[in-house]
Amino acid sequence: MVFGFDSRVRYSEVDENQQMTLGAVVDYFQDCSIFHSEAVGLGIDRLEEEKRAWILSSWQIVLHRLPHLGEKIRIETRAYGFKGFYGYRNFQLLDDQGRGLVDANSIWVFMNTESGMPTKVSAEHGERYGVEEKLPMEYAARKLPRKEGAVALESFPIMKYQLDTNHHVNNAQYIKMALKYLPEGFSIGQVRVEYKKEAFLHDLVIPMVLEDAEGVTVTLADQEGKPYAVVLFMENQ
Domains of the chain, first to last:
2-129 (3.10.129.10), 151-235 (3.10.129.10)
Distance CA 49, CA 52 (A): 8
**pLDDT score recorded for residue 19:** 97
**pLDDT score recorded for residue 165:** 86
List phi, psi (to 5°) of 22: -60, -40
Answer for the pair 83, 126: CB distance below 8 angstroms, yes or no: no
Answer for the pair 207, 219: CB distance below 8 angstroms, yes or no: yes
Share of the chain above pLDDT 70, in %: 100
**pLDDT score recorded for residue 166:** 84
Which residue stretches of the chain have pLDDT < 70?
Answer: none
CA dihedral (212, 199, 188, 144) positive or negative: positive
**pLDDT score recorded for residue 112:** 95
Summarised one tens digit per residue, pLDDT across range 159-210 is 999 999 888 999 999 999 999 999 999 999 999 999 999 999 999 999 999 9
Residue 19's DSSP bridge partners are 68
